[in-house]
Chains A and B, each alone.
Chain A
Amino acid sequence: MSKKILIVDDEPHLRMLIQQTLEDLEDEGVELLTATNGEEAIEVIRAEQPQLVFLDVMMPKKNGFDVCQAVKHEMGMTGVHIILLTAKGQEFDRQKGQEVGADLYMTKPFDPDALLAKAREVLGLV
């Protein structure tokens, strides 16, 4: 099964940054997908079934929590590893994160090396 990572953020420069951070993985056969909002994210996850999703929390319409809830509970795709991205200083509701089934959360500005290392770990590409 081919390895795929989905990057979901409504801010284009952040999508680009995360893609650039994970660029080396493309040479190792990983496909990088993007989505710009929650609804698109759910569609892509349903269709492409990525192993790992980086999911921004603050998005218009469907936010990161809702997407996580939908994917993990309603769609039953518990195998998808979801990392929530939240802005530093923002009150992050850890409790809520746990309830919706998120696997991890990272604060922005993120540490590029940590992000890459985490991706490798989840995909088993260490």
Chain B
Amino acid sequence: MPVLTRLVETLGGGVSIADASGKVLWGDGAGLCRVELDGGFVAGPEGAAQAVAGLLELLAAKENERRDLAGEVLHLYREGHLIGELSEQLAAVLDVGDVGRTALEQAQRLIPATLGGMVVGGAVVAEIGQGMDLDSAFVKSILERGVGEIVNDFVADGRRGQWPAQAVIAAPLKNKQGTIGLIALGVDAGLDGEATYVAAHLKLLNTIAMQAGAAVANALASQKLLEREVERQALQMYLPPQVAEMILSSGGMERLDGVVQPVTVLYADIRGFTTMSERMEARDVVHMLNEFFTAMSGVIFEARGTVDKFIGDCIMALFGAPVESPRAAEDALEAAMGMQQAMTKLNASRLERGLHAIEIGIGIHCGPAVVGNIGSVDRVQYTAIGDTVNVAARLVNLAKAGEIIVSAAVRESIGRDENFEALGNVDLKGRATQMGVYRVR
């Protein structure tokens, strides 16, 4: 070092610098007086040796300061990089468990931990090690207060519950409404040495928790959207779209659990189906039925009805359920007439294709019924049951090809006379009293 050379010359020369083992680093090795330094010594004439030693000490101190500062800067840089990477990774994640695992993984890179976990909605969604005690007063207190905490002597903390940690650090996950969970890290009790969490750790964990909180809120929202969509698709299979939307916006499928309400029930079936199908290939029977059902369903939906079920060659439809309607009987009649028209059209097409025409009969009755999701846990159907339904089924049996038969109740509900031809009173199987029935002209 030229500066050092000049300095030593000015001081009179004869100074050398050696390391702790005596190896000469600079100078000629001679020297009367030794001045000890951290890591070595300076030898030479007293004054000169001391001056040089003083200079070296100062330079070393400055260098250490620089390194400390550089070390801190590097640490901050690492934190910044970690947050950036976490952001990127979380952007691609839609599962709450994955958010937890990603956040815990990244957090562990800069916060020492052997235990930990993320809690969302009262459940542990991701864990490091094991044994995070959800029921501990500590967890409860973080969730309640919504503020992060460091407890370096966790063993002595009364809130520890069953959690085997020596020191813990926790930060709440938040969304707009409030605290939705927490992320916590800890070190096992029984490890040598003490882990001490400091404010800088908590600051970092809070930042990680913020990002994780946002990602969790996102994941939950998109999960909800997905569930909604599944529900919508399920409902749309047997409900006209506008009714499906109405159900979804007023609380979803739970609303369909069993009520008694006035409904109008329409049955339509194929005349002479058994004979017809005996003469046909199985595949052609299925094609025929599908054509029939498709044509009929469209008309039913357009008249604001609900397709309840297909039974063999028969369609059962409901009007005024799930959503009650004063014009349910009118809608049913509208549907019935539309269905007969649709059959005429379909038959023209079928004859062109060299297929048999299909003749249908329709029966309509209205009255109270039990309506709701009926079935077992695995197989539920939205349907109506009761006397009203049974009567409608009897009425369709009375209908000949191309006919629409309705009960007196339906006629009354519609309120107009002209289109109905009285057929008198009939005995219906299983009923004590007779019922007035009408044919639609």
Contacts and interface: CB of A to CB of B under 8 A. Distances in A.
B55 interface: no
A21 interface: yes
Contacts of B71: 20, 23
B74 interface: yes
A17 B109 CA distance: 18
Interface stretch (B78-86, B328-336, B369-377): B78-86
7 contacts: A17-B70, A17-B74, A20-B70, A20-B73, A20-B74, A23-B67, A113-B109
Contact of B80 (A19, A23, A109): A109
B77 interface: yes
A17 B77 contact: yes
Nearest to A110: B81
Contacts of B80: 109
Contact of A112 (B70, B77, B84): B77
Interface in A53-100: none
B73 A112 contact: no
A28 interface: no
Contacts of A13: 73
Contacts of B74: 17, 20-21, 112
Contacts of B109: 113
Contacts of A23: 67, 71
A24 B81 CA distance: 20
A33 B67 CA distance: 16
Given A19-B70, A109-B81, A111-B81, 17 more contacts: A13-B73, A16-B70, A16-B73, A17-B77, A20-B67, A20-B70, A20-B71, A20-B73, A20-B74, A23-B67, A23-B71, A109-B77, A109-B80, A112-B74, A112-B78, A112-B81, A113-B109
Interface in B75-117: 77-78, 80-81, 84-85, 109
A9 B38 CA distance: 33
A23 B78 CA distance: 15
Contacts of A16: 70, 73
A77 B109 CA distance: 38
The 9 A-B residue pairs with the shortest CB-CB distance, nearest first, are: A20-B70, A20-B74, A16-B70, A112-B78, A109-B81, A111-B81, A17-B77, A17-B74, A21-B74
A23 B71 CA distance: 9
Interface string B52-82: 0000000000000001001101100110110
